[in-house]
Structure 1
């Protein structure tokens, strides 16, 4: 959870700069003008951000918390698998956003619904055999502790430090 919070803080800067860039390029003067185009633009920008960093193994927040994303065999993600993980990660947000459109819910109710849905989605990971989030299971990815990987690499195959 702490990694999510830190990721959100970092993404604030990414979204702010991307939003400013979009507004400047499209000469948007009112926040609601070009709203759907800006949302699509931000979806693409966030997709590039996550796909790029997941392909490298970690986002900036994941580095801080020593979390690494790999495929189910422990290999780094391909660009395609990282993109697929990004698309599947939107399952966290789609049901509440769809409910907002279908039932014309006000913003406060959408925020409560979104928070509740994210809590349910996170709790569902408890029912997965490896305790993975379901978007990771569907994408064929998993999160690992990068400190354990680094420790294994440092000790070598026989457990002797420095052997290779």
Structure 2
């Protein structure tokens, strides 16, 4: 016969609800620090293997290489526990809209759609021959639009999460240390 669980026992639920946009942006700032190291190592590896002596040599191939390396980092983390290191620190997890862990295809779709944070305004630079300050201003305005879109969303999800059928949830401290 099993004994009833006491009322102060931890609940089996892993998610605590929708985290604030501010909390997710803080995780994004931390993520940028991690990405700096990943991009640095990927760039160093690329330049060493291709014997690149000039930053403009093979710059398109370098951009594709870095995007692939960063994609592998995110997709692997999201499919193996639903968290990157900053997400674990801020107790966030990415799951499907149904509450299940992400599969490979959905994680790759989320990574591709996350580029919508930056690519639209950056595409204006060569298309409209904008100056660097104008491009940075357009990028900042687009970033602000993306954040406002999340604030206006009833579930407080960013547009790329809404488009690919994923969501970010807050997890309690004990569940943050365990894979989904």
TM-score range, shorter chain: 0.7 to 0.9
Q: Which residue of the partner structure matches residue 58 of structure 2?
A: 34
Secondary structure of the corresponding residue to residue 124 of structure 1:
helix
Which structure 2 residue ranges, 5 or more long, are not aligned?
Answer: 1-24
Counterparts of 1:120-139 in structure 2 under 5 Å?
A: 120-139=145-164
Alignment length, in residue pairs?
Answer: 152
Aligned to 1:13: 37
The answer to whether residue 115 in structure 2 is matched with residue 77 in structure 1 is no
Backbone CA RMSD of aligned residues: 1.7
User: Taking structure 2 as the reference length, what is the TM-score of the superposition?
Assistant: 0.80
**Runs of 5+ unmatched residues, structure 1:** 154-164
CA contact (8 A) 2:77 2:83 kept: yes
- How far 1:127 sits from its partner (Å)? 2.3
SS of residue matched to 2:167? strand
Look up the SS of the partner of 2:172 in the other structure: helix
Preserved contact between residue 75 and residue 108 of structure 2 (Cα < 8 Å):
yes
Runs of 4+ residues over 4 Å off in structure 1? none
Q: Which has the higher contact order (CA 8 A, sep 6+)?
A: 2
1:53 corresponds to: 77
Question: How far does the alpha carbon of each residue in 1:78-134 deviate from its partner, in whole angstroms, 9 at most, with x for none?
Answer: 011000000011111121111011012232322222122111111111222211101
Contact 2:91 2:173 in 1 (8 A): no
**Residues 62-73 of structure 1: pairs in structure 2 closer than 5 A:** 62-73=87-98
